[in-house]
Structure 1
Amino acid sequence: MSDTPSPLPRRIGHYVSNLVIVGIIRLALLLPYAARVRLVGWVVQHGLGPLAGYRRRAIDNLAMIYPDMPARRRRAIAGRCLNNAGRTFIENYSARDFPQRMAGVVPQGPGLAALERAAAKRQPVILVTGHYGNYEATRAALVARGFDIGGLYRDMANPYFNAHYVKTMEAFGGPVFPQGRRGTAGFVRHLKAGGQLVLLFDQHVFGAPPLDFLGQPANTALSAAELALRYDALLIPFYGIRRADGLSFDAVLEAPVSGTDPRAMTQALNDSLGARIEADPTQWFWVHRRWRIHDN
């Protein structure tokens, strides 16, 4: 986040939009858990998402990846994508209720045994995922089992919103670090000490190599694989997959990605996430400008 003051109109815009967001959060948190999750999902799907242009961007991305899909189906996926984003947002602000619900979830998949073995011998672990379902669901389930899992986050453009959003990540357990020199130093110290860290890798990064993602080239950072190789860390893809009831989750840890080539390892991560999206495209955040290969 830049230290340069924003122009006054922009700062006012950030302040006002944060007031709206905080108002929605506070009103929603007055409701019982299930009602608040459904409400905010509906508000983002039918109100905030379309107003912000997110629905149109999601539809455009879907049209690029699935050109033969009926337009009606693409619109339905975009709507459910926004609903999932709203649900995820308020779940992550439910700092008491959500972790309590996830504490009873038993993680699945071959990556769990690998994580447990690594923790026992204090081998670093990098848990990698995308904006699919709700990744905090799996982190909360693992924290409830005694893992101290930190994370690396990207500062939001709105500094007022960023200040309290970071606190939601800290509430799930484990240290969190901002992207940049200061955050990376703490991130590396945690890894060197045998810690576990979460990385989200599915956003466009200018200058990163173009790798295949859902059949299209997408600039993808190699940093997760590079860190894993540098610090002899396990690289485990994981997912918090929303169930059909819209409120509960499966926490899935896939087998660790091995190899010595960061590019090939990162392509394996893209393929892993791509398979999850193909299985249920409604759970991925189609709103990101993921494919910007011609902007470089």
Structure 2
Amino acid sequence: MPVDPSTLSLGSRAGYFASNLVLRGIIGGLGLVPYRWRIPAMGWVLRKAAPLVGFHKRIRNNLALVCPDLPQQDVTRLCHEVSDNIGRVVAELYAGAPFLERAWQAPVTGPGLAALEQARAEGRPVILVTGHFGNYDAARANLIHRGFEMGALYRRMANPFFNEHYVRAIEKTGKPMFEQGKRGMMEMVRHLKKGGIIAIVADLHAHGGKNIDFFGEPAVTSVVPAELALKYKAAMIPVYAIRQPNGLDFEIIIQDEIPPTDPITMTTTVSKQLEDLVRQHMGQWFWVHRRWKPYNPDPNPTGSTTEN
């Protein structure tokens, strides 16, 4: 992904710059609207834009692959629900304090909170794994507010102009942030070695990963989080933020620590648990990702690079 706009062709640079201006304009304009209306307004904007930018086609293709018996009326509903949730996530990312306050107030359920507290008391490193579900940043904000200092691995946006303010926005939730890549991985490992907590969004197609079933179909999945957990004796704990019916609030679910066995078994458990959660809230997972993209994974991966 481009880091320096000067490395792009003139056409690509112009296209990225224009799309960044449009998105910034929408975000800036909605920023003038009170929070309780702003978030659903951005959901509405993306619902209207989704067919034009290819979201509906991607969602339909994914659902046809893994849920072929789903009635068309449910597929259409999910096209709108998924797009609405993504729009809300974008608005929340740039909302600052109003979003953080909602995230801080979210109730936390699940057995993993006790495991997380025990690991912190023991000075043991923790790898929190999550997915593109609900608003994953709400969980990070909530736990940081509870005193769990953590770093997070993020993926650089393809648009270099958008990436600059995107990183500034996600840093408002908490630091340090580790950019995906060799340097970011080294920084993240140093953080783990010191007994730190890191958060990884682990449900994207991953070069160098393993074919692990997700919704009954093989999806190339990174086993790096599990490898790191085993290597550094870190607790590997899944955490998710479920959007509530009012569209503004969240419930944070922290699942129990994944038993340390082997990378494939551990990653399979995480994928199955996420699938179970998605089946309960189908409209909250990012079905726009090319999760089942064909790829021949390296049989002995040493690293992973995720992509949409």
TM-score by length of 1: 0.97
Q: Distance in 2 between matches of 1:281 and 1:39?
A: 21
1:152–1:294 CA distance, 2 compared to 1 (3 A): closer
- Cross-structure match for 2:51: 50
1:277-292 counterparts in 2 under 5 A? 277-292=278-293
Q: How many residues align?
A: 295
1:1-296 counterparts in 2 under 5 A? 1-2=1-2, 5-47=7-49, 49-293=50-294
Cα contact 1:210–1:293 (8 A) shared by 2: no
| Identical aligned residues as a percent | 44
1:133–1:119 CA distance, 2 compared to 1 (3 A): same
CA RMSD between the two structures: 1.3
C-alpha deviation, 1:147, in angstroms: 1.2
C-alpha deviation, 1:104, in angstroms: 1.8
Structure 2 portions without partners, runs of 5+: 298-308
1:6–1:244 CA distance, 2 compared to 1 (3 A): same
**Structure 2 SS opposite 1:293:** coil
Q: C-alpha offsets along residues 40-89 of structure 1, whole Å, 9 cap, x if unaligned?
A: 00100112x22110111111111111111111111111110010000011
Q: C-alpha offsets along residues 203-237 of structure 1, whole Å, 9 cap, x if unaligned?
A: 11133211111100000010110010111110001
**Structure 1 SS opposite 2:206:** coil
Q: Which amino acid aligns with 1:204?
A: H
Cα contact 1:217–1:293 (8 A) shared by 2: no
**Runs of at least 4 residues of structure 1 off by over 2 A?**
1-4, 293-296
TM-score by length of 2: 0.93
Q: Distance in 2 between matches of 1:52 and 1:234?
A: 39
Q: Distance in 1 between matches of 2:267 and 2:90?
A: 27
Q: Distance in 1 between matches of 2:38 and 2:238?
A: 30
Q: Distance in 1 between matches of 2:109 and 2:18?
A: 42
